[in-house]
Amino acid sequence: MRRIVLIRPYRDGRVLGKAPGSPYTLMRLASLVPEEIPVEIWDENLRKLPLDTLSEGDLVGITSMSVTIARAEEIARIAMKQGAGVVVGGVHSTLMPDHTKTFAHSVMVGEGYFTWQQLIQDYAAEGIKGMKPVYRDERWADLSGLANISDRVIQMVDEKSHYWTPYLEITRGCPRNCDFCTAIRVSGRRMRLRPIDEVIDEIDRRGIKRFFLTDDNFGLNFTTDPDYVAELFERLAPLDLHGWTCQSEMSVANHPELMKMSVAAHLDKHFIGFESVNPNNRSSLGGKSKGQALMAEEAIRKIRATGIGVVGLFVMGFDEDTPETFQAMWDFIRTSELDSISTTMLTPYPGTPFRDTVEREGRLLDLPWSYYDTAHVTFVPKNFTVQELRDAYDWLCRKTYSPWQIVRRGTRSLGRYPIRQTGKKLFGSFSTDYGYRRTYAYRNAL
């Protein structure tokens, strides 16, 4: 084997010279490559890929989400034509292996922690001939000692020079069961926790000062595993961090003691999946106490009172939604104390019960995967025409992400911190809304 090349296909590009987020998935996978085999990470958000250098003896691993699968396919076909062995893994290939199989020697279904190592051995022994069409790894393995990021990978990626936001995994999985959610189909419904020593060691060796957790529902651990969370916060508190953010749910507001500890642990913001201000949508939301604007307001107030920010995540286009839901959403955004807002379009991702429903009812629109970016309407809604839903969503996004609204929320957010912390908190106070404005803007680029 000449080398292993791990590729992230283009999606976000660069902002002021750096890509928005580090290639965390590939950093973990590259760390599983034995030291004697050369490994490279190619991030197409960062630079044009030297695909013409791929040849026989190279093993190419490509990561995929539905939105990037078309580019993954182009890269895979070029690499295969030049004689490289090609494996595609990630969310899309896990949920649609039959589609992915058509343009790769191997498809990685599931987490791949163990099968990736198996595939490397198979390729090293017999080249492309040794690669099995499908490798399955859906055992939801214990995270202890699993693919810790190696020093070789830390040096190679040089996150500080190339990326605005480093990612970090502390827990994985979510026991809830929202019918539109892909995360639980690829990370499992059992909450798994990384050993705290390994988390602290990783932060230390990577030298990161800010990070975004990849955890599907970190905040749920406040309720299900308070001792773990308390110990984690105690260990993070003495570190010299600028701040970090996580995905949560509003039940964190019921844990004042942990919230207090989280401030000392440099937690900056909870991204909270309120999902909907329409109470009729509760059945789609897997048992979370959601869909109730009053409860949301109370939770936001309590969390912000501790000095932690709240980013509200909302999904539009549920079957129960009507034009009034959009007005109610805007009223809520305008009057709430949220620090940043994400309003996304409900999307029938592969592997979800929601997709099964729209398929069964003949409501799935025939659109390329690039439209699965949560900013496009990809199915026929119940109470709108497709165009009406698009227009309603456009109306909401133009209001929510107007420069004035971004500045208003960002300045309010920054105002929560003591003046001496302004430098540290400036980036994070505006970057989230700016990022969502960009995500929405992709829609108009297609």
For binding to ligand B12 (CB under 6 A), which residues are involved?
11-12, 21, 24-25, 28-29, 61-63, 65-68, 87, 89-92, 95, 108, 111-113, 116, 167, 169, 181-183, 186-187, 214, 216, 344, 349-350, 373-374, 439
In the complex, the smallest distance separating the C-beta of residue 348 from ligand SF4, rounded to whole angstroms, is 14
In the complex, the smallest distance separating the C-beta of residue 63 from ligand B12, rounded to whole angstroms, is 3
Burial per residue of 191-207, b for 16 or more beta-carbon CB atoms within 10 angstroms, e otherwise: bbbbbbebbeebbeebe
- Contact partner at residue 217 from ligand B12, ligand SF4, none, CB < 5 to 8 Å by partner kind: ligand SF4
- Contact partner at residue 51 from ligand SF4, ligand B12, none, CB < 5 to 8 Å by partner kind: none
CA dihedral 91, 93, 96, 101 (to 10 degrees): 180
Count CB atoms within 10 A of the CB of residue 17. Answer: 9
Q: Which is nearer to ligand SF4, 115 or 352 (CB)?
A: 352
Query: For every residue of 317-331, which 3-state class applies, written as one string?
Result: CCCCCCHHHHHHHHH
Burial per residue of 415-444, b for 16 or more beta-carbon CB atoms within 10 angstroms, e otherwise: ebbeeeeeebbeebbbbbbbbbbebbebbe
In the complex, the smallest distance separating the C-beta of residue 233 from ligand B12, rounded to whole angstroms, is 21
- 226 and 255 Cβ atoms separated by less than 8 Å: yes
Q: Which is nearer to ligand SF4, 84 or 178 (CB)?
A: 178
Q: Would you state the structure tokens that stand for residue 74, as one six-digit string?
A: 């182009």
In the complex, the smallest distance separating the C-beta of residue 227 from ligand SF4, rounded to whole angstroms, is 21
Q: Which is nearer to ligand B12, 218 or 228 (CB)?
A: 218
Length, in residues, of the chain? 446
Count CB atoms within 10 A of the CB of residue 142. Answer: 11
Q: Which is nearer to ligand B12, 120 or 293 (CB)?
A: 120
Q: Which is nearer to ligand SF4, 289 or 422 (CB)?
A: 289
In the complex, the smallest distance separating the C-beta of residue 125 from ligand SF4, rounded to whole angstroms, is 39
Q: Which is nearer to ligand B12, 214 or 262 (CB)?
A: 214
- Contact partner at residue 277 from ligand B12, ligand SF4, none, CB < 5 to 8 Å by partner kind: none
- 374 and 345 Cβ atoms separated by less than 8 Å: yes
What is the distance of C-alpha 181 from the center of its chain?
12
Q: Which is nearer to ligand B12, 183 or 252 (CB)?
A: 183
- In one-letter notation, the amino acid at residue 112 is G
- In one-letter notation, the amino acid at residue 272 is I
Phi/psi of residue 397, nearest 5 degrees: -65, -40
Q: Which is nearer to ligand B12, 61 or 219 (CB)?
A: 61
Non-local CB neighbours of 430 within 8 Å, separated by 6+ positions: 406, 407, 410
In the complex, the smallest distance separating the C-beta of residue 329 from ligand B12, rounded to whole angstroms, is 17
- Contact partner at residue 348 from ligand B12, ligand SF4, none, CB < 5 to 8 Å by partner kind: none
In the complex, the smallest distance separating the C-beta of residue 183 from ligand SF4, rounded to whole angstroms, is 4
In the complex, the smallest distance separating the C-beta of residue 86 from ligand B12, rounded to whole angstroms, is 9
Count CB atoms within 10 A of the CB of residue 379. Answer: 23
Residue of closest CB approach to ligand B12: 89
- Give Rg (Cα) of the chain: 22
- Contact partner at residue 214 from ligand B12, ligand SF4, none, CB < 5 to 8 Å by partner kind: ligand B12
- Contact partner at residue 400 from ligand SF4, ligand B12, none, CB < 5 to 8 Å by partner kind: none
Residues that bind ligand SF4 (CB under 6 A): 174, 176-178, 181, 183-184, 216-217, 273, 286, 288
- 144 and 196 Cβ atoms separated by less than 8 Å: no
- Contact partner at residue 49 from ligand B12, ligand SF4, none, CB < 5 to 8 Å by partner kind: none
> Which regions of 276-339 does DSSP assign to beta strands (E)?
309-316
Q: Which is nearer to ligand SF4, 63 or 248 (CB)?
A: 248
- In one-letter notation, the amino acid at residue 295 is M
